[in-house]
Amino acid sequence: MGSIELKGVRKSFGAVNIINGVDLRIEDGEFAVFVGPSGCGKSTLLRLIAGLEDLTSGAVEINALDVSDVGPAQRGLAMVFQSYALYPHMSVRNNIAFALKMAKQPPAVIEQKVQKAAGILNLTDYLDRKPRQLSGGQRQRVAIGRAIVREPKAFLFDEPLSNLDAALRVQMRVEIGELHNALKTTMIYVTHDQVEAMTMANKIVVLDKGSVMQVGSPLELYNRPNGLFVAGFIGSPKMNLIRGEAADKRGAATIGVRPEHADISATAGEWRATVKVAEHLGSDTFLHAESDVVGPLTIRLAGEAPIAPGDTIFVTPRQAHVHRFDQDGRRMA
Amino acid sequence: MSARRKLSHRLTMTALAWIVGLLIFFPILWTVLTSFKSELDAFAIPPKFLFFNWTLENYGVVQERSNYIGAATNSILLSIGANLVGLVIAVPAAWSMAFAPTVAIDRRETRVMYAFMAAGIALTILIAWLTSFPLFTSWWGYALLAIIVGLPVISWILTRRTTDVLMWMLSTKMMPGVGVLVPIYLLYRDYHLIDTRLGVGFLLMMVNLPIIIWMLYTYFKEIPVDILEAARMDGASLLNEIIHVLTPMATPGIASTMLLSVILSWNEAFWTLRLTTTHAAPLTFLIAEYSSPEGLFWAKLSAASTLAIAPIIILGWFSQKQLVRGLTFGAVK
């Protein structure tokens, strides 16, 4: 069990600053997700917590103990890598047992713990296979098994699902969520996929260019993004960000309207637009429209809607859900 | 039609391969054949290819006149021993170059450091002169000098970029050995290392070390660093990481590196001829005994040569797959 605190963490490679001073607290038992576009420094931040990279300045504390100068082996954290990073020359059993062997646990205890982990992850039949004889999902499970047998203070996941196909990704997402509910261990999960972040996290940390943009629960970020970056990053399809006359009318430099927070009508409304593409998913209909007044708009309608490209629609944002941003891109009250 | 052209193409290629192979192998074949001839037949013009009086006489003479077993033992001990010791040094060296390279140095910081060190040296000498401290006349004066001069030199070496170190090591192979013959000979004479297995073995190890490190470095570069980091996260110490994870994964690479460097040591003639006479004399020395000083005894020279190259040819024969892989590694992917 562990809480993790970052104090003024900075990292630069030569003259390039990757992390520009991050202060962050992750409580014991939390599922924290670092999310951001590629190159935002989220993986580096995770590696700094793991101890795989040295801090340029600042401190990392685990359970209120400064571990900034402690090597990765002594921090008591477990990590699941994007590439799984299984030991190719060892059987699944030995892969899972490696950390326990390094901790010099007695063979009987090791065997018992390996069996238990294999049972949880449905790997019992594969214990004597080599990693190359396993499918992607099974390899992912071995990597997780390797992490859980150590009973670490926290789990670190570095984009663990990005090498899996879409169906398997959804399944593993649920499994990792269940694992967190069962173990109640702190987990830090890095992803560029905001859907993964929204579905799994208690606490989302949105990063951009090496700085924390906003920290909050998924719905806090959805309902009250504190700036343009978070507004544009969280939510799918993306929020419509509109400048100009429509924004001036509401006393803001930019206004944001989520695709699901607008009503359409065939006869009258605030913005007149022409539908360019209509995506019919059954459960939803996505309209990509072009308005003379406010530019391109994305509209999400629940259920099926009989709209075809070329149709003229009138769009009216729901006033309660309009996000207002000032000149610097910050949220206005 | 195309099948026939393919057949003729393959026939040509096969024939060409055989011709080239025989051309390359011919000197060895001729040596082996000559070793079974009488001295008279060995000189015969036109040369006799297969139809001569086959005799084992030369081998008997070689056994009588020189200590083949002794020389072969020395060759085996020197080439294998030197390379095993070399491997113990090269594996950690190649590890650090492949996985923890020094990429960039902050030029400004190092310049400040050098300035301080130079000032320190100057100041020490000045104070020593003013206080008539016996800097150049007593052993502790020398010790102090060694420290104030040695520390900056060592720190300079340690802050070199890895690529520079690699190039420097390669450059030592471009220097002809004869360039350092006199100093090495004098050192060996003063420290009584001439004609000792320890002395010659050490030299062979040093001669091959750059090649061993370079080859291991290229092999290690192919190993995903994630897997080593996973071992670190699993609580493995550096030693355990190298022994249990890196070495097993690099076994093919280490094997072919060893094979190549054993062959190089086996064939090394420049230093072995100059630094040995009897106790540590390997097979190269034995062959040299049969050349010019005692007149040209082609048949006996051939017999000695055949005995000298036989073990390494057999070793190479059984491991040619590994050897080819080792030589072309990194060139084709």
pLDDT, residue B293, reads 57
Give pTM, 2 decimals: 0.78
Is B234 in Cβ contact with A99 (below 8 Å)? yes
Count interface pairs A-B at CB distance under 8 A: 64
Would you place residue B118 in the very low, low, confident or very high pLDDT band (cuts 50, 70, 90)? confident
Residue B294: what pLDDT?
55
B250 contact residues in A (CB cutoff 8 A): none
> Does the pLDDT at position B329 exceed 60?
no
- So what's the pLDDT on residue A164? 85
Q: Within an 8 Å CB–CB cutoff, is residue A286 touching chain B?
A: no
pLDDT of residue B330: 45
Vertex A87 angle, CA A83 and A91, to 5°: 125
The structure tokens listed for A90 are: 């060892």
Q: By percentage, how much of chain B surpasses pLDDT 70?
A: 90
Q: Which pair of structure tokens corresponds to residue B185? A: 């000979």
Strand partners for A105: none
Chain A contact present for B249, CB below 8 A: yes
Closest CA of chain A from B249, distance in Å = 7
pLDDT at B333 (0 to 100): 33
Q: Assess contact for A132 and A84: CB atoms under 8 A.
A: no
Taking contacts as CB-CB distances below 8 angstroms, the residues of chain A near B103 are: 14
pLDDT digits (tens, 9 = 90+) for B8-28: 888 999 999 999 999 998 988
- Distances from the Cα of B53 to the Cαs of B42, B49, B50, B298, in angstroms? 11, 11, 9, 15
pLDDT tens column, B270-318: 888 888 888 888 888 888 877 665 567 788 888 888 888 888 888 888 8
What pLDDT is attached to residue B129? 77
* pLDDT score for B105: 60
Q: Do A83 and B248 touch (CB under 8 A)?
A: no
- Interface contact B108, partner A, CB < 8 A: no
pLDDT digits 0-9 by tens, B151-200: 777 777 777 788 888 888 888 888 888 888 899 999 999 988 888 999 99
Taking contacts as CB-CB distances below 8 angstroms, the residues of chain A near B234 are 73, 78, 98-99, 102, 146, 150
Structure tokens at B145: 């000098």
Q: Identify the pLDDT of residue B276.
A: 84
Q: Name, of A32-36, B1-5, B248-252, the range with top average pLDDT.
A: A32-36
The pLDDT of residue A325: 93
Which is nearest to B241 in space by CA: B95, B89, B87, B100? B95
Mean pLDDT of chain B: 83
Contact A85 B249 (CB under 8 A): no
What interhelical angle do B298-318 and B320-328 show, nearest 10? 80
Kindly indicate the confidence band of residue B130, based on its pLDDT and cuts at 50, 70 and 90: confident
CA–CA dist B86, A153 (Å, integer): 41
Q: Are A61 and A74 in contact (CB under 8 A)?
A: no
Q: Which domains does chain A have, with CATH numbers?
A: 4-230 (3.40.50.300), 240-325 (2.40.50.140)
Judge whether residue B38 has pLDDT over 90: no
pLDDT tens digits for range B55-77: 888 888 878 877 888 888 999 99
Confidence at residue B300, expressed as pLDDT on a 0 to 100 scale: 82
Ranges of residues in chain A with a pLDDT under 50 are none
